[in-house]
Structure 1
Amino acid sequence: MKTIFKHIKGDRAIWAIVAVLAILSFMPVYSASTNLVYVVGNGSTTGHLIKHIVLLLMGFGILYGVHKIPYRYFSGGSVLMLPIVLLLLIVTIAQGTTIGGANASRWIRIPFVGVGFQTSTLAGLVVLVYVARYLAKNKEKKIVFKESLLQLWLPVGLILILILPANFSTTAIIFSMVIMLTFIGGYPLKYIANILGIGVVALGLFILVIKAFPDAMPNRLATWESRIDGFFNSENQPENYQVEKAKIAIATGGPFGKGAGKSVQKNFLPQSSSDFIYAIIVEEYGMMGALLVIFMYFLLLFRIIIAAKKATTIFATLLVIGVGLPIIFQAIINMAVAVNLFPVTGQTLPLISSGGTSIWMTCFALGMVLSVSASKNDTEESILDDNPLDILHETI
């Protein structure tokens, strides 16, 4: 055990939280996968559990590898990754793959591995690191709005435009996190207000274009409208099927639940092992299980805030906030959807839901946080003066 601890750096509480969340996910994923086996006819429950464990082990490999990288490399790395991410998003739109019935333009398949990858999740991570770099680099400078439009908002806007057609909820989350990060990073409030106005206008124009050319994105706008309208006007129309089954699962869980593997609604609830796994957890483990999951994410939030406060540079602080808080935000949204406090979004529960992209990107983000918490004597100049090409050369 001492040998293992010698090789892991950073906040060990975060390591422990990640391990606990991973272990907590085993039984819910195994239980909920019966929906995929007996309803969809896809594989076996044991096969789904083994796949989930393998994805988690790969995630821990990513976490370990990333936390060994000095966090200053992520600054220049974000500049290198922006064009790659833009290209991946374009490829995804052009030839996306349907994964379990999900929208075809959200996923691409990794060659030779047979695993789907949701490029928007990687894009969101790169964007937030890039924004943290920009804010840290200009912290002591007077920001000119026209210059920031080109340097900051053009790359962010291009990525959001490419994600929006297939994944509105992810676009909204990334945009919200960028706005939050710019506010914390000292970007002028009047400029933030301008960007919010531009964002609202751009979304309105996008909706008008979809209405004018409905064949360009069949059913997407109708899906958004039905989810939002169904949430706010549930008394006047039939309730969303997924929400209805999730509420039944939660209502029948009681204080201690029905027991591991004894969920009934997992057989009727679509995406029971991913988007609505929290409802299955509550049904099988009751209020106690639900509170335990909430507590673990609250504890993770607490440790992320501590890591941000202990960071020795502005970039490090913004990096931890930028990549750490979205994990908590996503968890809150997932649980809020399950209990019908938020419209259906399709966001997974980090480190618990099945799905390789979510696990890998969450581990990548937490690896960055651990890299920051493991560092001690970096200076802002050494980080922001790094040439991205020099970083690429050192990496190779």
Structure 2
Amino acid sequence: MAKKMKVKHFYDFSLVVMVFSITLFGLLMLYSASGYMAAKSDLGDMYYLTRQGSFAIAGFLLMLLISRFFDYHWFSKLNLILYVLAWGALLATFVMGVASHGSHRWIRLFGMQFQPSEVMKPAVIIVLATLLTDKGYRINSLRDIFRTLLYALIPAAVVAFTNLSTGMIIVGIAVFMLFVAVKTYRYHAALFLLGLLAYLGAYPLAIFLQKVKILHDYQITRILAWKDPVSFPDDTYQTRQGLYAIASGGLFGKGLGESIQKFLMPEAQNDMIFTIICEELGLVGAVGLMLVYALILFRLYEIAKNARDLFGSFLVIGVMAHIALQAILNIAVATNSIPNTGITLPFISYGGTSLVILLAEIGICLNVSWQTTLDREKGE
């Protein structure tokens, strides 16, 4: 008899389980890291946990909604609208931004604060995925590379006024997506050289930007303190306490909830939460967390590789770059490999906007996997 084709949808449940697990782990570590300081500030020891938990629930609902009831191709049609909306939110920080830690990164709406620069990350991913798909994987000149990069470089430059680290991540996402899109080896070399020059020239450029009043004093102080921590004891206090936490954790750690340094570190639940993980769970726990990140990135790679079209592949590649860069830079800050930048650890650090955006991006990736059909021939 004639063979019939049975079409099945592929939904990456393993990715869902890993993201759910790492987020749940993040809530556990968040409570451990923040409970004492929250209680000391008369907020109640559950303050940060309940707020982050609320964002986690909202994020997972959004993730599931996008993954099953949206079509990721809608983002291609709406890419410029989303990009303009992200720009509007970003520029609003200069008018109605809420000051915190020397910068205006947040906007308060309906009694809640959110960080518009986080919204720019998926907006750039979507607009670049659309552009690269329209070009049909063809980037034929350095001019093409530069023109495409402008969609990330301009917002990154604006973001850098208030949030230098997020600006770096936006550029990093764009460079990674272009690196994948470019087929010519000399352009790969050009992108690699661009990254190397950016790394080598970061410090002198920062000094210059501070002198012409583009970088804020607190931003340049972080760089100077990293180079010469002895001369800036107050500015390196958090970093030094984090290094003590990592060193005291040893191989297996002191045990969950048994950190000592969290009593000395203000806001340990933010970008320094990795050091508390190291102290309480040791090297084994830290490596285990890195393996979970690696597994998440591997699942995203598989989804990108098997996506039904280029647009889906580039969307997932952009999300891969976002998660990888943010995790690497956060761990580099925690270990004092680079200056303190305020980058959160994906799915774990306190930060509602970051968590919801990351879960929404995972929802997009799951939607790409859902629309990947597995053809099976069934005959008699």
If the length of structure 1 is used for normalisation, what is the TM-score?
Answer: 0.81
Mapped to 2, the partners of 1:345 and 1:79 lie a distance apart of: 29
On the 8 A contact 1:243/1:340 being kept in 2, the answer is: yes
Q: CA 1:59–1:244 in 2, change beyond 3 Å: closer, same or farther?
A: same
Task: Work out which of the residue numbers 128, 132, 141 in structure 1 matches 2:129.
Answer: 132
Shift of residue 330, structure 1, vs aligned partner: 0.7
Tell me whether 279-288 or 296-305 shows the greater mean CA deviation: 279-288
Partner SS for 2:95:
helix
1:67 aligns to 2:101 (yes or no) = no
Mapped to 2, the partners of 1:186 and 1:270 lie a distance apart of: 44
Partner SS for 1:252:
helix
On the 8 A contact 2:142/2:187 being kept in 1, the answer is: no
Paired residue type of 2:117: S
Task: Work out which of the residue numbers 103, 112, 115 in structure 2 matches 1:115.
Answer: 112
* 1:381 corresponding residue in structure 2: none
Cα deviations across residues 86-119 of structure 1 (Å, max 9, x unaligned)? 1111111222113xx334421111x32x221111
1:161 aligns to 2:157 (yes or no) = yes
Tell me the matched-pair count. 359
Listed as ranges, the matches of 1:324-339 within 5 Å are: 324-339=320-335
Listed as ranges, the matches of 1:183-194 within 5 Å are: 183-186=179-182, 193=190
Structure 1 unaligned residues grouped into runs of 5+:
1-7, 379-396
On the 8 A contact 2:223/2:339 being kept in 1, the answer is: yes
Mapped to 2, the partners of 1:246 and 1:374 lie a distance apart of: 41
Q: CA 1:329–1:149 in 2, change beyond 3 Å: closer, same or farther?
A: closer
* 2:3 corresponding residue in structure 1: none
On the 8 A contact 1:35/1:272 being kept in 2, the answer is: no
Cα deviations across residues 128-158 of structure 1 (Å, max 9, x unaligned)? 22111111111265757667766x3444333
On the 8 A contact 1:92/1:106 being kept in 2, the answer is: yes
Structure 2 unaligned residues grouped into runs of 5+:
1-8, 375-380
* 1:83 corresponding residue in structure 2: 84
* 2:98 corresponding residue in structure 1: 97
On the 8 A contact 1:129/1:323 being kept in 2, the answer is: no
Shift of residue 249, structure 1, vs aligned partner: 0.9
1:240 aligns to 2:236 (yes or no) = yes
Mapped to 1, the partners of 2:51 and 2:288 lie a distance apart of: 25
Task: Work out which of the residue numbers 144, 147, 169 in structure 2 matches 1:173.
Answer: 169
Shift of residue 277, structure 1, vs aligned partner: 0.7
1:231 aligns to 2:232 (yes or no) = no
Mapped to 1, the partners of 2:250 and 2:169 lie a distance apart of: 32
Paired residue type of 1:250: I
On the 8 A contact 2:206/2:220 being kept in 1, the answer is: no
* 2:12 corresponding residue in structure 1: 11
Shift of residue 274, structure 1, vs aligned partner: 1.4
Q: CA 1:193–1:204 in 2, change beyond 3 Å: closer, same or farther?
A: farther
Partner SS for 2:282:
helix
Shift of residue 234, structure 1, vs aligned partner: 4.5
Task: Work out which of the residue numbers 262, 266, 286 in structure 2 matches 1:266.
Answer: 262
* 1:284 corresponding residue in structure 2: 280
Shift of residue 352, structure 1, vs aligned partner: 1.1
Q: CA 1:187–1:90 in 2, change beyond 3 Å: closer, same or farther?
A: farther
Percent of aligned positions that are identical: 30
Shift of residue 203, structure 1, vs aligned partner: 11
Shift of residue 324, structure 1, vs aligned partner: 2.3
Mapped to 1, the partners of 2:217 and 2:125 lie a distance apart of: 30
On the 8 A contact 2:33/2:273 being kept in 1, the answer is: yes
* 2:52 corresponding residue in structure 1: 52
Listed as ranges, the matches of 1:17-56 within 5 Å are: 17-38=18-39, 41=41, 43-56=43-56
Tell me whether 354-363 or 74-83 shows the greater mean CA deviation: 74-83
If the length of structure 2 is used for normalisation, what is the TM-score?
Answer: 0.84
Tell me whether 230-239 or 131-140 shows the greater mean CA deviation: 230-239
Cα deviations across residues 322-365 of structure 1 (Å, max 9, x unaligned)? 12221122112112211222221111111111210111011011
Mapped to 1, the partners of 2:42 and 2:267 lie a distance apart of: 13
Partner SS for 1:106:
strand
On the 8 A contact 2:36/2:263 being kept in 1, the answer is: yes
On the 8 A contact 2:316/2:365 being kept in 1, the answer is: yes
**RMSD (Å) for aligned C-alpha atoms:** 3.0
* 1:383 corresponding residue in structure 2: none
Q: CA 1:9–1:62 in 2, change beyond 3 Å: closer, same or farther?
A: farther
On the 8 A contact 1:24/1:352 being kept in 2, the answer is: yes
Cα deviations across residues 152-197 of structure 1 (Å, max 9, x unaligned)? 3444333122201011111111112201211211276559949959
